[in-house]
Amino acid sequence: MYFVRKKMTFQNNNTKEISQELELGKRPIAIKVSNLVKRFDDLIAVNDVSFKIFEGEIVGILGPNGAGKTTTIRLLTGIFKLEDKANIEIFNEDITKNLSKYKINFGIVPEVSNAFSDFTVWQNLRFSGGIYGFPKEKVEKRSKKLLEQFGLIDKMHSKTKALSKGLKQRLNFCLALLHEPSILILDEPTSGLDPISVKLMRNRILQLKKEGKTILITTHDMLEAQTICDRILIMNRGKIIADEDPNTLRERFKSTSTIRFKIDGVLSNNQKNTLMDIFDNIKEEDNYYVFSSDDDIKDIFMLYNFSKENNLNISDFKVKETSLEEVFIHLIKKDSISKGGLEK
């Protein structure tokens, strides 16, 4: 059963990747940024960053603290002024000359909330709607719909400062979506939330994608990137060091998958030597045998044959595939070492 399931997963992933690529090629480019740079005195926080996001994609910017994620978002959304070489296109229109005109395309959930804490939930929405110049009826209709979608309707008359972190974040989403933007920019939207709120947010984000939104999200959370993003930009020290979909990223580092198992009873020296001949990097660790494999299906069959031929029983068998977290740590370490060591 195990083998069959595994093979099917690979086939599905390959097919999915090819169809995703074909599909993406047909879609318009929603965001195209070129040569973004931001300096803070001697520090280059964003160093010549360029990327594209296709319409309807969820793209995650993943990176350690201080990588430049928020600064990239702030350049993209006009909080920081662009340097001369930089360029931003939204649906093929150059926005660098008049960013404010195009800001209406963006719904932003910032790292620090911009809701007024002394206003009620409803007052915040009304105020925001007023800024966009929408008629009162339109704001109220849209606000109610959003409050229902985000499970906030019971809190509409609560003061914002009385809301829990999770509920405040739901309000931030409602505020970002009020003007029906086509692009959502989410700066660490699930950071510090409890697991139930995280799940609700991720489901809402996936629903928004289904509704056709293009979504750029920054996160530290590998699981988040792996489960909701179509593509991941890994950022370190102001630069994009990888731009791939989560499966391809993991596949690239598949060679590090680890097989760990126990053999009931004691192996003879002869049997141990045979095992070492088959798996040249095998080690004994706390009564377990462990080896890394670049073709786990083949190696599992070889191990199975070895156990049958030697009449041995294998117990507690595990294959640990490379997680996106391991890929991320590997890439960050490699990049940092090549630039003179990891930051303490």
Q: Using CB under 6 A, list all residues that contact ligand ATP.
A: 40, 43, 45, 63, 65-71
Residue 77 beta carbon to ligand ATP: minimum distance, rounded to whole angstroms: 13
Q: Which is nearer to ligand ATP, 241 or 319 (CB)?
A: 241
Chain-centre distance of CA 32, in angstroms? Answer: 19
Quote the least distance from Cβ 241 to ligand ATP, whole Å: 13
- Of 82 and 263, which has the nearer Cβ to ligand ATP? 82
Count Cα neighbours of 119 within 13 Å in the Cβ-side half-sphere: 13
The answer to whether 257 touches 264, Cβ cutoff 8 Å, is no
> 144: which 2 tokens?
């109610």
Smallest separation, CB 67 to ligand ATP (Å): 4
- The secondary structure of 55-118 as a DSSP string is TT-EEEEE--TTSSHHHHHHHHTTSSPPPTT-EEEETTEE-SS-HHHHGGGEEEE-SS--S-TT
Nearer to ligand ATP, 71 or 226 (CB): 71
234 in Cβ contact with 242 (< 8 Å): yes
Cα dihedral 267, 268, 270, 271, rounded to 10, equals: -20
Residue 122 burial (CB < 10 Å; 0-12/13-18/19+)?
Answer: middle
E strand or H helix that includes residue 243: strand 239-244
From the CB of 64, what's the least distance to ligand ATP, in Å? Answer: 7
Amino acid identity at 161 = K
**In this complex, which beta carbon is closest to ligand ATP, that of residue 140 or of residue 335?**
335
Alpha helix locations (H) across 178-323? 195-210, 222-228, 246-252, 269-278, 296-309
CB of 143 to ligand ATP, least distance (A): 30
Which residue's CB is nearer to ligand ATP, number 65 or number 100?
A: 65
- Cβ distance to ligand ATP smaller for residue 58 or 233: 233
Q: Which is nearer to ligand ATP, 46 or 178 (CB)?
A: 46
Residue showing tokens 């609560």: 158
Q: Given the complex with ligand ATP, which of 53 and 67 has the nearer CB atom?
A: 67
Q: Is 308 left (phi over 0), alpha (psi -120 to 50) or beta?
A: alpha
Q: How far is the CB of 7 from ligand ATP (least distance, A)?
A: 39
- The minimum distance between CB 303 and ligand ATP, in angstroms, equals 42
User: Which residues are CB-contacts of 234 (< 8 A; sequence separation ≥ 6)?
Assistant: 62, 63, 240, 241, 242, 243, 328, 331, 332
Helix and strand numbers, DSSP H then E, in the chain: 12, 14
Minimum CB separation of residue 150 from ligand ATP in Å reads 24
The CB-of-259 to ligand ATP minimum distance in angstroms stands at: 35
